[in-house]
Amino acid sequence: MSTGVTSRRNGRVALILGAPALGGLLLFLALPFVMAFALTFTDQRLVSGDHTRFIGWRNYERLLGISYIAQKPVEDPVDSESSSPTFVRVRDVTRADPDYRGYRPFTQVRSGAYRITILARDPDFLHSLINTFEFAFLVVPLQCAVALGSALLVNAGLRAQTFFRAVYFSPVVMSMVVVSIVWTFLFHRDLGSINRLLAFLTFGAAGHIDWIGDRATAMPAIAVMSAWQGAGFQMLIFLAGLQGISQELYDAARIDGATAWQRFRHVTLPGLRQTIAFVLVVTTIAALGLFTQVDVMTQGGPQNATSTVMFHAIQRGVREENIAYGSTVAVVYFALITSLILLQQALQRRWSK
């Protein structure tokens, strides 16, 4: 219980003590956050002689603008049976119609006789968005499985488990730049150990994959590497969760004759439910921010296959100096993460009922 005198004196001192940190957070976190939203409605560039103008929703329209063209094949009476149907070139259609100004083709699908071309004002962003989800979809289950597996291993009551725990955790302290560069060599088409190992295991059948130079394998390769680097962190959190499960539950299950798998299924997993939910969300949020690996290893390539939302934001915002547009990408990225957190909280509320 504090007296009135100390309380009043504390009031003055409290402000002085808290001011440096709170001031720093206001200037370098809260202010840029507010700026991010405000800038999306302007044409702000990094260096510009012109005054910044208010341009309404134009950045969002450019970022999210999607349209489509549905085309019937051109009638070709000569040999319509044998050859594939021909269409008027998309470029000719978009040039002729002012409604399609600024749109570029994103992807094409066939529906019956029709060919539908999806157009976007910024197809690179859509690719980046899809790539980011692809990465999260690959890395989250992989990393969490490795983390849970290694946590179970170092919690099994074997000898030297502190040593192994340290070994599994060690990549976490390694910088992502270093990891990316070392793995660039391991992924090398001709020299890399990964292809050499594959060739050895398959007697030469596999092992000629250009891991980060091929559109199909570039993102999976980055996901494997990222899981390798980050799993140790999640392992420690799982370990804390495992140690929170009462030993009596395991003893009771044993007395009832439960097998190791049954004990895992009916004691360990339910006991880890909160931890698993937490780890999944943290890993997903980290995955959606993918930048360093891409910037060091692939620069978004090959053919946009590894460009991500964050890479796109930095590319447009900083390297092309279009601060307003980069901020718009960042705001969309923030909205993505916020909805994820809200979804997780809603699910958790339902589970705990």
Partner 1 sequence: MSVPASSNRPSAALRFALYALMLLLAAMFVFPFLFMITASLRTNDAIFAHAGSIQAFLPTGPLTTANYSYVFGGGNVLHFFLNSVLITALTVGMGLVVNSLAAFSLARLEWRGRETVAALLVILLVIPFEAISVPLMLLVAHLPGIGLVAGKLVLTRSWLNTLYVQILPFVANAFSIYLFFQFFRGIPKDFDEAAYIDGATPLQVYVHVIVPSSKPVFATVSILQGLAMWNQYLWPVITVPGESARPLMVGMQQFFGHTTEWGNVMAYATIITIPVLIAFVVFQRWFVRSVIGSGVKG
Subset of residues 174 to 193 that bind partner 1, contact rule: CB under 8 A: 174-179, 181-183, 185-186, 188, 191-193
Q: Give the nearest distance from C-beta 196 to partner 1 in angstroms.
A: 5
- Residue-wise DSSP of 257-311: T--HHHHIIIIIHHHTHHHHHHHHHHHHHHHHT--HHHHHHTTT-STTTT--HHH
285 binds partner 1 (CB under 8 A): yes
CB of 307 vs partner 1, minimal distance in Å: 15
Under a CB-based contact definition with an 8 Å cutoff, are residues 73 and 113 in contact? yes
Does residue 334 interact with partner 1 by CB under 8 A?
A: yes
Asked if 312 interacts with partner 1 (CB under 8 A), we say: no
Residue 32 preceded by cis peptide, ω within 30? no
- In angstroms, rounded to a whole number, what is the distance separating the alpha carbons of residues 212 and 222? 8
- Cα angle: 110, vertex 125, 225; to 5 degrees: 100
156 binding partner 1? (CB under 8 A): yes
Query: How far apart are CB 294 and partner 1 at their closest, in Å?
Result: 11
Size, binding site for partner 1 by CB under 8 A: 100
Of residues 86 and 338, the one with the C-beta less far from partner 1:
338
Give min distance, CB of 313 to partner 1, in A: 6
Cβ proximity to partner 1: between 94 and 308 the closer is 308
User: Which two tokens mark 344?
Assistant: 């997780």
Site for partner 1 in 205-244 (CB under 8 A): 228, 232-233, 236-237, 239-240
- 153 contacts partner 1 (rule: CB under 8 A): yes
Stretch that binds partner 1, among 43-51, 62-70, 76-84, 92-100 (CB under 8 A): 43-51
Residues 256-275 touching partner 1, rule: CB under 8 A, are 256-257, 260
| Residue placing its CB nearer to partner 1 in the complex, 64 or 176 | 176
Hey, which residues between 74 and 93 contact partner 1 (CB under 8 A)? none
Among 104, 263, 282, 301, contact with partner 1 (rule: CB under 8 A):
282
Strands 114-120 and 66-71: antiparallel
Determine what percent of the chain falls in helix, strand and coil, rounding each to the nearest 5: 65, 5, 30
For residues 239 and 211, is the Cβ–Cβ distance under 8 A?
Answer: no
Farthest-apart Cα atoms in the chain, separation: 100
Nearest alpha-carbon partner for 275 in 191, 193, 163, 152: 152
Query: Does residue number 343 form part of the binding site for partner 1 (CB under 8 A)?
Result: no
Residue pointed to by tokens 């999260």: 136
Binding to partner 1 (CB under 8 A): which residues in 103-142? none
